Amino acid sequence: MSTAELHAACEALAPLLGTWRGPGEGHYPTIPDFGYLEELSFGHVGKPFLAMTQRTRDPQSDAPLHTEVGYLRPQPNRVMEMVLTQPTGVVEIHHGSIEETGGGVVIELRTERVEGTRTAKPISEVRRRIEVAGDALVTEMWMAAMGQPLTHHLRADLIRA
Amino acid sequence: MSTAELHAACEALAPLLGTWRGPGEGHYPTIPDFGYLEELSFGHVGKPFLAMTQRTRDPQSDAPLHTEVGYLRPQPNRVMEMVLTQPTGVVEIHHGSIEETGGGVVIELRTERVEGTRTAKPISEVRRRIEVAGDALVTEMWMAAMGQPLTHHLRADLIRA
């Protein structure tokens, strides 16, 4: 994304930088289980945030499934903010934490606000977790929607591309 | 972005597709006037939305200034929904209209919700307008923030790249 030097505020996030690929699994009480292939990228332009782009595809047909884009805004004292939007008409505002693990990082996030357009399916709350350990990245997502409490929805096990 | 066929719901938005570049000007009562160079792209994957990516640079130093990403969700009866997020920690949920003009399109949008992370500067309301006429695209933005009423903030005059 850039040849700029990583902003000092983003140093703990350096293990995220680059592109990650691998399989994922989704489940939710209201729908059948499903599998997907995910590509997840984190880039920077030398400013105090990372840009995130995610795309998933159908493992059989290779058709595009989901996509989302957003920004990670690390703050002092290991606080993390994230904003994210999806073509489903949903925006998420997250607050959470950054934990450096030696060769990796764990990011825990929970929505302070989830909002949608008039035709979007309402979502009450989202929890997200991203863990990097060397060249492996695990991303997980929990969601409260469709009358369900906060429930594990997605997990993908990615490797550095 | 894709070799897929444009979704029927996006037909009126076909004039937007591609990448646009040109100069912009910003002004606001609380800051000095400024100029910028903008690159704006609209893409699709065959689904009923367009993805939008915007980047601006300093005309002198070429340093990155602003960026934002989002999705346009055309609805029946010339209604437009848009979701958008910025690395400033802001998300915007827009509702508005699509007007086909013969060789072009005009999109008028106004925020139903503007939300931010805890450290984001609060914005009360945003109005956006995008007009395509052939190979010219004009984008304008009005903003209510910093105690100011909805005030013209940005205009860029772009041409198809």
Residues B130/B137, Cβ–Cβ less than 8 Å: yes
pLDDT for B103 equals 87
pLDDT range class, residue A43, cuts 50, 70, 90: very high
Number of other residues whose CB lies within 10 A of the CB of residue A149: 11
Position A34 scores a pLDDT of 97
- ipTM summary value: 0.96
Kindly report the number of other CB atoms within 10 A of residue A76's CB atom: 7
What three-state secondary structure class fits A156? strand
Which residues on chain A are in Cβ contact (under 8 Å) with B91? Answer: 83, 85, 91-93, 113, 115
* CATH code, B8-160: 2.40.128.20
Name every chain B residue with its beta carbon within 8 A of the beta carbon of A69: 51, 69-70, 85
For position B2, what pLDDT does the model report?
A: 61
* Contact (Cβ atoms closer than 8 angstroms) between residue A95 and residue A127: no
A:B CB pairs within 8 Å? 106
Q: How many CB atoms lie within 10 A of CB B11?
A: 10
Extract the tokens encoding B70. Answer: 């989002």
Q: Across the interface, do B87 and A51 touch by the CB < 8 Å criterion?
A: yes
Q: Where are the domains of chain A?
A: 8-160
Residue by residue, pLDDT tens for chain B (161 residues) are 567 999 999 999 999 999 999 999 999 999 999 999 999 999 999 999 999 999 999 999 999 999 999 999 999 999 999 999 999 999 999 999 999 998 899 999 999 999 999 999 999 999 999 999 999 999 999 999 999 999 999 999 999 99
What distance in Å separates the CA atoms of residue A63 and residue B63, rounded to the nearest whole number? 37
What's the gap in Å between the CA of A33 and the closest CA on chain B? Answer: 22
Q: What is the DSSP letter of A147?
A: T
